[in-house]
Structure 1
Amino acid sequence: MKKIVLLAALAIFSVTATNAQTKVKKVKKVTAAKSVTAKLPSIEGAGMVFENETIDYGTIPHNANGKREFVFTNNGNKPLVIESTQGSCGCTVPTPPKEPIAPGASGVIGVNYATDRVGPFTKTVTVKSNAAGQETKVITIKGTVLPDAPAAPATETKS
């Protein structure tokens, strides 16, 4: 009789221990799934996240290429539409994407600064879009345009 009770108790203990391990494994899987989901965008509607909100041209020569690109990603769940872009002056000309940016996709806003103006500069581009919570976003370009090097004096040639 003692052997039967002992055997029964051992069997119940084994089944309980096995179920407990299975439940722990399930909890771990659910926790891992929640942490992955937490990294996904939680923006309802369209969203806009820039890789860099400021582009530093550094020190560039007079009349150098003034074209740069701002790269952004739609981190929302609806298409992002750039409605307009406006430079802070006529020397800064932005070029927005013409098509909507799908959720998870990236887009580019081109900016051309007129490098015929010598000296330091800081200019902004105002971006208007349907991004939830930030319908207007300001991005910045900055740098310094060097003057042309002075011409070397002409040397006289003796004949």
Structure 2
Amino acid sequence: MKKILFTTLLCVMNVLFVIAQGTAEITFEKTSYNFGSFSESSPKVTCKFKFKNTGDGPLVIHQAIASCGCTVPQYPKEPIKPGESGEVTVTYNGAGKFPGHFRKTITLRTNSKNEITRLVVEGDMTPASADINQ
């Protein structure tokens, strides 16, 4: 009987602790970025997605998964306090890829009110031979 009472009390305390911390909410300035046109001779391009924790609890980004190995996201590993900002840096490397239009997604898994957020990067990589004609 004492074990059941102790376990119940422990569960209630955990729930109250989670409620007291509040809920995080991630708000991005924008969720898509277009690199425009860039040359195959300089195939690596980078952008930053700025966000703010607009909730009342600490924000944790658990995971950032790109739709392709040619796209690499970097994100803060430490919790973001309510009212504070951060950024996700995304690098696309078109080396070894065919020139043309691309569109890649980065899926963020967080403890935010909306657990999943998708970021999109796109652009047009032009053939290196086009550089000679200009």
TM over 0.5, yes or no? yes
* 1:55 paired residue among 28, 33, 45: 33
Q: 1:45 Cα shift? A: 0.7
SS in 2 for 1:128: strand
1:26-69 deviation line (CA, Å, top 9, x unaligned): xxxxxxxxxxxxxxxxxx51001111100110111112441111
SS in 1 for 2:59: coil
1-side partners of 2:94 and 2:64: how far apart?
Answer: 20
Amino acid at match of 1:70: F
Larger gyration radius, structure 1 or structure 2: 1
* 1:141 paired residue among 121, 125, 133: 121
Q: 1:93 Cα shift? A: 0.8
Q: How many residues align?
A: 108
Equivalent residue number for residue 88 of structure 2: 109
2-side partners of 1:150 and 1:142: how far apart?
Answer: 20
1:120 maps onto 2:109 in alignment: no
Judge conservation of contact 2:39–2:131 (CA < 8 Å) in 1: no
2-side partners of 1:151 and 1:57: how far apart?
Answer: 17
Q: Which runs of 4+ in 1 moved over 3 A?
A: none
* 1:130 paired residue among 107, 111, 119: 111
Q: 1:150 Cα shift? A: 5.7
Normalized per residue, the structure richer in helix is 1
Normalized per residue, the structure richer in strand is 2
Q: What's the TM-score, normalizing by structure 1?
A: 0.64
1:78-128 deviation line (CA, Å, top 9, x unaligned): 110000000001111111111111111111111110132321000000000
* 1:83 paired residue among 62, 68, 77: 62
1:122-147 deviation line (CA, Å, top 9, x unaligned): 00000000001x10111100110111
How high is the sequence identity, in percent, across the aligned residues?
Answer: 36
The runs of 5 or more residues in structure 1 that have no matched partner are 1-43, 153-159
Q: CA RMSD in A?
A: 1.6
Larger RCO (CA within 8 A; separation ≥ 6)? 2
